[in-house]
Amino acid sequence: MKVRELPQRKLPSGPVWDKLCPDMRYAPRLKRHLLFPAYAGVWLAMAGWGAAQTAPPADGIRDETRALTSESHRLLAEELKQFSLNLKCDAWIQATSFMPAGLTVRRQAQITRREWSGTRPAVLMAYDRASNSNAMSFSPDFWERYPAAELVEIIQEARRIQADTKLTLEERLTQATRYWMDRLRSMESVRLKQSLWLQRGEKPLALAVPILLGGGGVILALLGIVSRRRSARAGRRFLLPEVQVGMRFGAAYGGGVTSEIKTNAGVQ
């Protein structure tokens, strides 16, 4: 089988072309060198954007919706900071304009809380403006500290506040945040009171209880000793001595002397 060879195109010739021809060999390599910085710049830009999205905000609030004014943002950030100090945990707010496809707000809240806080105690409230949906994510420490029913109630009430379209988005974000902060503070106060043994109002009672228990124990011990002695005495038998007594006036044991009582001889 013969392979037909295509005719080769004859390159132009001339003094100008002869000078350009050696430089044309380096054109593909030059293109590759020029494309590499462009690709590297795009990759660095994407990496920087991803790091900015995953890095936790310094003040605890990431508002991509621009719903909070600068003053509201500042006040809410200060309240979050104080809340974190009171409960010794991280507190975050994330408000986004849209969610990635296939990702729910609840799942996004869980992922973001783990990325920002790791295994530390933390609470995060997430809001998606596109779907007008809200979700909260508590770390396992919160589920161990507080009753699950109260945490679920906090999640539902925050969702109800966010769904109220009569309020502006700024009002919904601030009211929902302040609501769950106040509820968690009160729950922490109750938990601390229940965990302390000696409260100021309960100190006299706490001192009286050991005394009463000790006194009751002593009384029970004495009653036990008395009961054992009585049971020991109940097992003893006492018999009267046999006395020989004669008959008197035909009656058996009617005569004789059975006992004598000596009195003072000087007494008349």
pLDDT band at 49 (very low <50, low <70, confident <90, very high): very low
| Nearest-angstrom CA–CA distance, 20 and 33 | 20
Q: What is the pLDDT of residue 150?
A: 96
Q: For 15-28, what is the mean pLDDT?
A: 51
Q: Is the per-residue pLDDT at 33 higher than 70? A: no
Q: Which residue has the higher pLDDT, 5 or 115?
A: 115
What digits encode the pLDDT tens for the residues 145-160?
A: 999 999 999 999 999 9
Model-level pTM?
A: 0.58
- The pLDDT assigned to 223 comes to 82
Name the fold adopted by 61-195: Diaminopimelate Epimerase; Chain A, domain 1 (3.10.310)
Map out the domains of the chain as residue ranges. Answer: 61-195
* pLDDT for the residue numbered 43: 44
Q: How confident is the model at residue 172 (pLDDT cuts 50, 70, 90)?
A: very high
pLDDT tens profile 66-125: 999 999 999 999 999 999 999 999 999 999 998 888 889 999 999 999 999 999 999 999
Q: What pLDDT digit, counting tens, does each position of 189-237 carry?
A: 999 888 776 566 566 666 677 787 887 788 888 888 877 777 766 666 6
pLDDT at 226: 76
- The pLDDT value recorded for residue 201 is 57
Alpha-carbon gap, residue 11 to 14, rounded angstroms: 10
pLDDT at 44: 43
Rounded to 5 degrees, what are φ and ψ at 214?
-65, -45
Condensed to tens digits (0 to 9), the pLDDT of residues 115-144 reads 999 999 999 999 999 989 999 999 999 999
Give bridge partners of residue 248 from the DSSP assignment: 251
Look at residues 184, 178, 169, 159 and name the one whose alpha carbon lies nearest to residue 63: 169
* Three-class HEC string of the chain: CCCCCCCCCCCCCCHHHHHHHHHHCCHHHHHHHHHHHHHHHHHHHHHHHHHHHHCCCCCCEEECCCCCCHHHHHHHHHHHHHHHHHHCCEEEEEEECCCCCCCCHHHHHHHHHHHHHCCCCEEEEEEECCCCEEEEEECHHHHHHCCHHHHHHHHHHHHHHHCCCCCCHHHHHHHHHHHHHHHHHHHHHHHHHHHCCCCCCCHHHHHHHHHHHHHHHHHHHHHHHHHHHHHHHHCCCCCCCCCCCCCECCECCCCCCCCCCCCCCCCC
Q: What are phi and psi of 267, to 5 degrees?
A: -85, 130
The predicted structure's pLDDT at residue 61: 95
